[in-house]
Structure 1
């Protein structure tokens, strides 16, 4: 296949979405929704201009590696959104939403998939684990840009960003347990504790802390000694994300988690006064690096296999995606009451989108287990989430802004 065609198409889509980004966001059509739709349009089920099978790389491998690279870059940008002192000031949110919320979301998603689709419990558990983490890439239009900053409170945007960043890496724990139980049941728990938990997850945390701290100190030292022409975050954060992603994988750690921790530590060390640059870089990175993955997803959607599974599949998948977040957040409302108002809780219980991280874990799980259902149902869930959460971004942002205004008026009265 001539790579100039997909190159021109992909770059053209990114260019178009960049030119009209503000208009599309206010029309509740964020970039991921448009990119996904264009991928379907260009693919074999519509115009048939591009087939992902003709790229010369196995589809599963291409999607897994593209998702991994996208997460590495995207998570670095997510971590830089968080202001200095955020982690210490928001310990309660993180402990509750990660320590209790993630297991609750896993339980709800698994139960809905098991009961609704009639899947074996371990397969339902695997799918539930893949759908549990909130995706940092799909979350980006919800928490960044003029629409979000005008309407959504900072604490909501920051808490959603931190959760989506950390639970993306922690999701590896939830995914690998059913994978091991399906593939090596005799030694699954031993491998889970010694390899997955200790070496891959804890090792990733330590590696990310060390690299992020060293990179932050290097950045500050270079600036203070006049070794840099300008304080270029872009020159640091993208290479930092890719270095940690590659080196973390070579060391046998959960490299996705390592990237987020490294970037989070780096963001707490660099000067607070340059945060406006972080926002600009985050916007550039999102448009240039993150949109192509949704084009790829659109090209790879197994629409024919969805049809074979009948009308019940999308109904159950929609229920799993939406209920797992809604039930968990409202169940935790007594613990979060002092952190978020009722309107903010409603917003947080709605926006738990899935996307690139689910694609990464689905391709990884399919490669290790050989279960095609994992990929088929996950891509259906991604499509549902990208569309539903994407088109509801503007209306939900308007509702939370109205709630804030009513709350202020009520307080003033």
Structure 2
């Protein structure tokens, strides 16, 4: 953290969910902040892998019992969070994802500098009346956010077009390139029991993500027979767990492998010839960044953050216009049929992550947001992104 305040600020991160990409982003950010001397507390449901991880990093973990989605216990959850806030007395509160963002803003109502990071908009995750209610809240609740941090310019545009008027900052997601690094696929595969029956030369497609509608594994399974008609020796592994696990297993072709939840996804990226994520919506997905950091090419749908994840001028087949089986199968088949192209794309992706999506860049940019709030310094306005006074400006870590 550059130009730290004295004493270091006390930051409270509030998060629910405690799994998937959001948890990974928060854990990485907590680790980077602790390394700079920031005093970090995390409020989250306890007794899970995320809570254990951030506690092991050195964060003060305060149990906050809350469900993933809003429900009849919301008022009780807000009161519980209010008690945590009173005990911790943070200088800045950083709320991650829709549920924490809802509870934090209701509990504080702007009394403490508040950063809200949606990690993909809640109104995109639901339909009908629920979507209308979520959108109404995001429009109203924006007044109680000192900054709304979006992980991609596309995510910010989605919010602005939906009528959310907020003091925006765009800070792309980052990953740890020392943890996510290239390795020999043959060596890694040899140590994975699930792949014991897979031939060493079989092209391996890996999808890492929570098994849920958002991540689009159902679309990938529907596309897979078409991929096999073009590349008969290819194999597919789904890595992750979630609410759709039983349904996906029941409808999957017999040769598709399910790895379940992985404490460490790195070996799966390293074992892959191609990593696929056919999401229906995102802010900026971590899995493609992690895959590229491991030197593996990716195919993903053109949702928020996808274009910004890829290196400029990247092969168009890495981006599928919509989560539909036919174009997805076409892109996967084309890349599996061209080993030299996959190798080139993997090298490009690794360089891009090192230059643009290193988690340390993300942590520095977030620290800059905290400094603005704690010192009262207004950010420099340089064109395109809505600022606190609702004038147009552009702010990103590249400004």
TM-score (norm 1): 0.26
TM-score, normalization: structure 2?
Answer: 0.27
Structure ranking higher on relative contact order (CA contacts 8 Å, 6+ apart): 1
Q: Which has the higher helix share?
A: 1
